[in-house]
Amino acid sequence: MALTVLALVRTRKLFAAVILSGVYSFLMATVMLTLDAVDVAMTEAAVGAGISTVLLLGALYLCKSEEAKPAHRPWLPLAVSVSTAAILIYGAMGLPDFADPKSPIHQNVVPRYMENEVDVPNVVTAVLASFRGYDTLGETTVVFTAGAGIIALLRRRKSKRDDNEK
Amino acid sequence: MKNDLVLRVVGKLLIPFILLFALYVQFHGDFGPGGGFQAGVIFASGIIFYALIFGLANARKLMPDWLVESLLASGVLIYAGVGIAGLLLGGNYLDYFVLDSDPVHGQHRGIFWVEAGVAITVCGVMLKIFYMFASRANFDARTDD
């Protein structure tokens, strides 16, 4: 993964960058798989590596395939991202161990989820659709809004161009 | 890409299984990994795969624009409708226990329809975004080369 990221940063060719980000998504999916989050791994592989790669390639045909030279030196953004990463890593060291049954997240609502009054064997589905039904309704609405926004943006431009041609 | 024999044959072989796998992920989501979002994305990527190989015009014949747009809206409506059905049957909004005489069955029914709504919306949105990008990129002119 680190190799992929380094290559991704170094490359100036946008086509290579798109393919490399697809590779990165697949590697990320395997990481999710080893963390036993199969649902997330499936989503990552399908959306990150599949559909977003296709969409980026489609966008690439609309513009130049070579990245422009940066106008200024990258030191300030670099410093900001390195310090953020340092803070995050420092914070992550304070977290409980992976799969520690005594950690706080397993003490409060998880026992009730696990009791499974819904009687659906996949707890992820039960939590998403039943216990957190409102959240998922909101998510679906967000996805719908994204689609509606795309329609609104791209369709208007198309009709404008038609007007110009007339 | 349209005239690539290998792609056409492999695509014809694989696409039915991709779509079938999407349905499996959808309906088996209660028991194994998966659910509405994953199923919708996999279904949409199957159609996108078809569009990449056989051209956008053919995919548009298969899933016309009006169908995609109504999918996009009807998913959210199904989801919200489950909530309203719960209200009408005397429970709270998005309360599935009242959807059947047996509360656990009601939960199953509620989750089934909610997941169906999520899958339909996600599939519609993904396809719509792809159609929009691809038609701007004049996709078919490119694949004919």
pLDDT tens sequence across A32-73: 888 877 888 888 888 888 888 888 887 777 776 666 666 677
B108 touches chain A (CB under 8 A): yes
Distance from CA of A72 to the nearest CA of B (A): 31
Q: What are phi and psi of A28, to 5 degrees?
A: -60, -40
CA angle A129–A130–A134, rounded 5-degree value = 75
State the best of A53, A144, A158, A161 to mutate against chain B, taking most chain B CBs within 10 Å: A144
pLDDT tens for A112-155 read: 666 666 666 667 777 777 777 788 888 888 888 888 888 888 77
Chain B hits for A129, Cβ within 8 Å: 35-36, 110-111, 114-115
* Interface touch A151/B29, C-beta < 8 Å: no
- Around Cβ B108, how many Cβ atoms within 10 Å? 19
DSSP state of A69: P
Inter-chain CB pairs, A–B, below 8 Å = 138
B117 touches chain A (CB under 8 A): yes
**Distance, C-alpha A122 to centroid of its chain:** 23
**Distance, C-alpha A49 to centroid of its chain:** 10
How far is it, in rounded angstroms, from Cα A23 to Cα A45? 10
Interface of B with A in 77-106 (CB under 8 A): 79-80, 83, 94, 96, 104
> Helix crossing, B65-88 with A133-165: angle to 10°?
150
pLDDT tens for B9-55 read: 888 888 889 888 888 888 877 676 777 788 888 888 888 888 888 88
